[in-house]
Amino acid sequence: MTVLRAQGITKVYGGVTALAHGAISVEAGSVHALLGENGAGKSTLVKVLSGAIRPDAGTLSLDGRPVSFHDTADAVRHGVAVVSQELNLFPDLDVLANLYPLREPRRGPFLNRRAMVAAARPILSRLGLEVDLRTLVGDLSLGQRQLVEIARALIAEPRVLVLDEPTSALDRSGSDRLLGILRVLREQRVGVVFVSHILEEVMQLCDTITVLRDGQAVLMGADRADLSIDDVVTAMLGPRSARSPEPVESAVPPSPDGPPGGDLRLEAVTVDGVLSDVGLRVPAGEIVGVTGLAGSGHLAVLELVAGLRRPTRGTVRLPGDRPVPRGLRRAIAAGVAVVSGDRRGRGLMLDKPLWENIGQVRAIGLRRDGVIVRRSALRARARGHVERLRIRCRDVEQRTGLLSGGNQQKVVLAKWLDASPAVLLLDDPTRGVDVGAKAEIHELIRAAAGDGAVVLLASTDLDELTTLCDRVLVFHRGKIAARLSGEELDQHAIVFISNTGGRQ
């Protein structure tokens, strides 16, 4: 039974067609995957379904009757709730207030705090979010904020639940819990629309698939059972001949000042309550993965090298045997790059053009050396990155905030790689990036290592860890439980040791 149907949806932004005649029908008790490359139009369709934007053309119908939503609150009143890609939470309000942004009249205007808490508790515990409801949302981690947004949608008890990359900020156990919840909702006859770049996950869960390419539906409500992951990828990228030509090697001119080379070293490093007596050495040119369950200490290693945290005991030395300066800013000046998948938290200037963002880090370095930075040169370099990473944009003058989520993440990468860092710290660098661009980004990371950078990679994507890293250090309770390389480096070993510390 079709609950919500969109037909002929078109949305044009200043000459760019984000979506042309997009369509999707959401069935009760079924999960519909909405897939496509970065910038294909997925979030645009999601925003139309959830009342966040009005389409230029096209219609929505609910239970067979035409409907139009004034805004997202109106959609919620009609039983359509959304978990948006760029989380829409109030950082200055506490968790509870965020869970009830609109006091719905049908539940009574005087919904009291105790009733709200009672309704929220079971949902939060099913999601595995254990926080005090009075915590300010701004103080939560990205993964926790994602769970708050999901909980908010679930509390509305929607008939149609639309999730735009809901697991991109979650670790494995968080994703598994969410997928479990979606399976239960499906049994309860809820219609689910699920946007994700993690194709294995989608294919396990969904019943039907719609694929968008360049704003057009190339697969519409196809039966999942008839398709392999390969079929879906081909639909997303288009036939080989239609794809953009292989990027030319010289698209980005090499920067004159390469990284200095040398090892990154941690010696007997202890951070009280977080790491105990950790030692590691990463030579220039090597890509080393760090992983573990939340709180196991692997992310603290990145924070130590970035100057965001000081060791209680022990030493951390950058290549060239230099100490880590205090604070992120100085660490950046010392050649440390920090690429995080939390692009909102890591300073893109959303109202500035692409070329300014891409050239930002390098320009700061050059200016410090007294070099006059020519804008035309920055623009030209930015164009090279746009081509190489296939950043979907009008041109490098476009405001960065107008790019799709995955394309913004590519800009974050471009900006750091452009600075030829000596140490590249990556924390889920390809979160939200589509399959094609992911391979491209992995190439760029390998190239940075090849140029002599030290690379430390934390990732919730096991595939990324095993394919990209020379070695992976598995952390357990603040210690390195295993150093895996060669034959030993496989996903099973990582999961097993993360959970057990390596004991049978």
Give the residues lining the site for Mg ion (CB under 5 A): 42-43, 85, 404-405
Shortest Cβ distance from residue 101 to Mg ion (Å)?
A: 22
Which residues are CB-contacts of 89 (< 8 A; sequence separation ≥ 6)? 98, 137, 145, 148, 149
Is the CB of residue 160 less than 8 Å from the CB of residue 26?
yes
Is the CB of residue 491 less than 8 Å from the CB of residue 466?
yes
Half-sphere exposure of 178 (CA within 13 A, CB side): 29
Nearer to Mg ion, 85 or 420 (CB): 85
Q: Is 400 in the site for ligand ATP (CB under 6 A)?
A: no
* Phi/psi of residue 22, nearest 5 degrees: -70, 145
Binding mask 334-373 for ligand ATP (x = CB under 6 A): ----------------------------------------
Is the CB of residue 469 less than 8 Å from the CB of residue 484?
no
Query: In whole angstroms, what is the distance from residue 100 CA to residue 105 CA?
Result: 12
Nearer to ligand ATP, 407 or 460 (CB): 407
Is the CB of residue 418 less than 8 Å from the CB of residue 359?
yes
Shortest Cβ distance from residue 42 to Mg ion (Å)?
A: 5
Which residues are CB-contacts of 8 (< 8 A; sequence separation ≥ 6)? 21, 22, 23, 57, 58, 59
Nearer to Mg ion, 437 or 456 (CB): 437
Query: In whole angstroms, what is the distance from residue 220 CA to residue 194 CA?
Result: 14
Site for ligand ATP in 448-477 (CB under 6 A): none
What is the sign, positive or negative, of the torsion defined by CA atoms of 90, 96, 102, 103?
A: negative
Is the CB of residue 358 less than 8 Å from the CB of residue 415?
yes
Nearer to ligand ATP, 16 or 222 (CB): 16
Q: Which of 406, 421, 429, 478 binds ligand ATP (CB under 6 A)?
A: 406
Shortest Cβ distance from residue 56 to Mg ion (Å)?
A: 19
Q: Which of 5, 31, 36, 426 binds ligand ATP (CB under 6 A)?
A: 36
Nearer to ligand ATP, 16 or 447 (CB): 16
Residue 72 binds which entry of ligand ATP, Mg ion, none, with Cβ cut-offs from 5 to 8 Å by kind?
Answer: none
Nearer to ligand ATP, 52 or 328 (CB): 52
Beta strand 313-318 with 264-271: parallel, antiparallel or unpaired? Answer: antiparallel
Contact region for ligand ATP (CB under 6 A) — 58-66, 296-304, 362-370, 405-413?
405-413
Q: Which of 365, 405, 421, 478 binds ligand ATP (CB under 6 A)?
A: 405
Binding mask 157-196 for ligand ATP (x = CB under 6 A): ----------------------------------------
Burial class from Cβ neighbours inside 10 Å (0-12, 13-18, 19+) for residue 127 reads: buried
Is the CB of residue 274 less than 8 Å from the CB of residue 297?
yes
Q: What is the separation of C-alpha 241 from the centre of its chain, rounded to a whole number of angstroms?
A: 29
SS3 290: strand
Shortest Cβ distance from residue 226 to ligand ATP (Å)?
A: 23
Beta strand 57-62 with 2-13: parallel, antiparallel or unpaired? Answer: antiparallel
SS3 476: strand
DSSP helix, strand, coil percent of the chain (3-state; round to 5): 40, 25, 35
Site for ligand ATP in 415-434 (CB under 6 A): 434
Nearer to Mg ion, 418 or 461 (CB): 461
Shortest Cβ distance from residue 379 to Mg ion (Å)?
A: 26
Query: In whole angstroms, what is the distance from residue 357 CA to residue 351 CA?
Result: 10
Q: Is 392 in the site for ligand ATP (CB under 6 A)?
A: yes
Q: Where are the alpha helices (DSSP H) in 206-270?
A: 229-237
Q: Is 38 in the site for ligand ATP (CB under 6 A)?
A: yes
Nearer to ligand ATP, 298 or 385 (CB): 385
Is the CB of residue 19 less than 8 Å from the CB of residue 44?
yes
Binding mask 85-124 for ligand ATP (x = CB under 6 A): x---------------------------------------
Contact region for ligand ATP (CB under 6 A) — 14-22, 154-162, 222-230, 476-484?
14-22
What is the sign, positive or negative, of the torsion defined by CA atoms of 112, 113, 119, 120?
A: positive
Shortest Cβ distance from residue 164 to Mg ion (Å)?
A: 6
Q: Is 43 in the site for ligand ATP (CB under 6 A)?
A: yes
Shortest Cβ distance from residue 348 to ligand ATP (Å)?
A: 14
Shortest Cβ distance from residue 409 to ligand ATP (Å)?
A: 8
> In the sheet that 336-340 helps form, which strands lie side by side, from edge to edge?
336-340, 423-427, 454-458, 287-292, 471-476, 479-485
Contact region for ligand ATP (CB under 6 A) — 23-31, 374-382, 402-410, 481-489?
402-410
Q: Is 41 in the site for ligand ATP (CB under 6 A)?
A: yes
Q: Is 390 in the site for ligand ATP (CB under 6 A)?
A: no
Chain residues that interact with ligand ATP, rule: CB under 6 A:
13-14, 16, 18, 36, 38-44, 85, 392, 402-407, 434
